[in-house]
Amino acid sequence: MNQTLLEKTVEERHAELREMARKQGVKPIRRIEDLYGDFADDVDIDEFLEMIREIRNQDKNGAAE
């Protein structure tokens, strides 16, 4: 029986995500710099992280509507 996303428990959804990550070879990040990578040499990591925070806040406040 196929369950919809809302019918699954948090544990079931986490287990599915872990399995998907395992199949795709995804590994947890160890350092924030790993996310930054070679995004742009002229962008400061602190500016990059602030930009991410601002985007998240916009999404939470509905500014992206």
Domain positions in the chain: 5-61
Whether pTM exceeds 0.75: no
Helices (H), the chain: 10-24, 32-36, 45-61
Q: Per the structure block, which two tokens stand in for 38?
A: 């070679």
Q: Do 11 and 3 touch, CB atoms closer than 8 A?
A: no
pLDDT at 23: 96
What residues contact residue 29 under an 8 Å CB cut-off, 6+ apart? Answer: 35
Q: Do 52 and 43 touch, CB atoms closer than 8 A?
A: no
pLDDT tens for 36-65 read 666 666 778 788 889 889 999 887 777 544
pLDDT at 36: 67
pLDDT tens for 9-36 read 889 999 999 999 999 998 888 887 777 6
pLDDT at 64: 46
